[in-house]
């Protein structure tokens, strides 16, 4: 699947965001090696710390459908930002643990800007299970 197609799916997922507090809708799309794409959008709550980001929802969505990290091929994230959206620190930590370090992550905005990166670039010197 071409990056732009995955980004378009992330844009569509963004429409499912529940973000009445921030009014900042984010969409994500996680491509697996069997061609399945799992969507995620941010879901907020009046108890603000319970808000869940689009990226994590997409990854957890795939896990709940029986996929594992070895299945993950590419991740796209889209927000209405000036530059390509920058994932939050919590998502970087989760991506670092669950998304393969050698697979592409496409960060995009609604204007069509795209930055291609990977988990190690997003979170160098990550805390991981080896430290425990």
Catalytic residue annotation: 55
Q: Which stretch binds ligand THU (CB under 6 A): 4-12, 63-71, 86-94, 119-127?
A: 86-94
Q: Does 114 bind ligand THU (CB under 6 A)?
A: no
Comparison of 85 and 130: residue with beta carbon closer to ligand THU = 85
- Six token digits for residue 21: 């507090």
Residues 39-68 contacting ligand THU, CB under 6 A: 42, 44, 51, 53-55
Three-state secondary-structure class, residue 22: coil
d(CA 90, CA 70): 21
Comparison of 22 and 36: residue with beta carbon closer to ligand THU = 22
Nearest approach, Cβ of residue 65 and ligand THU (Å) = 20
Phi, psi at residue 123, to the nearest 5°? -145, 80
Q: Does 75 bind ligand THU (CB under 6 A)?
A: no
Give the residue from 50, 51, 13, 52 showing the smallest Cα distance to 30: 13
Identified binder of ligand THU from the candidate list 71, 87, 105, 123, rule CB under 6 A? 87
d(CA 128, CA 69): 15
């Amino acid at each position: 699947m071409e990056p732009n197609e995955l980004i378009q799916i992330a844009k569509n997922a963004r429409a499912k965001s529940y973000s009445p507090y921030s009014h900042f809708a984010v969409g994500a799309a996680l491509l697996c090696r069997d061609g399945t794409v799992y969507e995620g959008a941010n879901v907020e709550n009046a108890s603000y710390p319970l808000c869940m980001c689009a990226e994590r929802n997409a990854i957890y969505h795939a896990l709940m459908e029986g996929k594992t990290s070895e299945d993950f091929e590419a991740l796209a994230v889209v927000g209405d930002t000036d530059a390509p959206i920058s994932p939050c620190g919590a998502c970087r930590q989760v991506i670092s643990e669950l998304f393969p370090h050698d697979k592409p992550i496409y960060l995009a905005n609604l204007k069509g800007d795209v930055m291609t990166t990977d988990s190690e670039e997003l979170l160098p010197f990550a805390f991981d299970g080896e430290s425990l």
